[in-house]
Amino acid sequence: MITFPLLKRNALQMLKPLIIFIAVLGMYTGVIIYMYTPSLMSMLEDYQKAMPGMLQAFGMSGMATNLIEFINIYLYGFLMLVFPLIFIIVIGNSLVMNYVDSGSMACLLASPNSRRKIIVTQAISMIAGVVILMTVITIFGIVCSESMFPGALDYSKYIILNASTLLLQLAIAGIVFFAACFFNDSKNFYSYGAGIPLVFFLITMLANMGDKLRVLKFFSLYTLFPKDQIIAGESGVAVYNIALAVIAIILFTAGIVRFTKKDFSL
């Protein structure tokens, strides 16, 4: 099913970017939680009043009455969406596209391992990287919350929020993975694999500004991220999460099938 030497190599290859993005997201998570004080919350609310359009575009709008609402507004409208996206693009290029574009894929294909075994290993490595990133950040957020504001965080909502974020990022990873398997050059990979998720995010930013632009949300994958429904305790969150999981499965499967059948310019 997979090749363990390649899996080990992938782990070493992802280690540096994984540490960097865990450090960056961990820093922002700690800072945002630290800012959950009356004075700093008041300052952020003043920023919202002074620059409503800009903060709305970045998903940082609304008044928080508790810690989970505060984290949702200032972390999950922008930071927890963009940085994992960049990480996914980096490892998508590293695990698949770079091998094809540089011609190194010839070495892998010349090994006793089948194409399917190779690409399934790369898919599992990519998924594992995203899962590890989100798991570590979730644990770090809980530790920070408990150390700074004991008992203030709604842990069940926080875990569900991060689980939904993980499913969203896996769906985005599916787009990146499929593009890496579909194209034979980095130019097209970045145009579509990175370009499509970025366009989705820009559409979401425009939709966040409200009024007539709100209809744009129906053209973005990020609309399936039910962060506000989770915080409000609404029903139907599972439907969004299942949809994201199905999209991820379809895209990763399609990428694997495409890789096993396509011609390489090696």
Report angle CA 128, 140, 14 to the nearest 5 degrees. 30
Residue 225 near residue 207, CB atoms below 8 Å: no
Longest dimension (CA), the chain: 63
Asked whether residue 191 is assigned to any structural domain, the reply reads yes
Percentage of residues in the chain having pLDDT higher than 90: 67
Asked whether residue 266 is assigned to any structural domain, the reply reads no
* Band of pLDDT at residue 20, cut at 50, 70 and 90: very high
Q: What is the mean pLDDT of residues 214-223?
A: 88
Report angle CA 163, 202, 161 to the nearest 5 degrees. 15
Q: What is the per-residue pLDDT for 38? A: 77
Quick: pLDDT tens for 46-64.
Answer: 776 776 666 677 777 777 8
Is residue 164 packed enough to be buried (19+ CB in 10 Å), middle (13-18) or exposed (0-12)? buried
Q: What is the per-residue pLDDT for 3? A: 86
| Structural domain range at position 140 | 4-261
Overall pTM surpassing 0.85 (yes/no): yes
Quick: pLDDT tens for 156-187.
Answer: 999 999 999 999 999 999 999 999 999 988 99
User: Within 10 Å of residue 193's Cβ, how many Cβ atoms?
Assistant: 27
Asked whether residue 224 is assigned to any structural domain, the reply reads yes
Asked whether residue 206 is assigned to any structural domain, the reply reads yes
Domain count, the chain: 1
* Cα separation, 249 vs 131, whole angstroms: 15
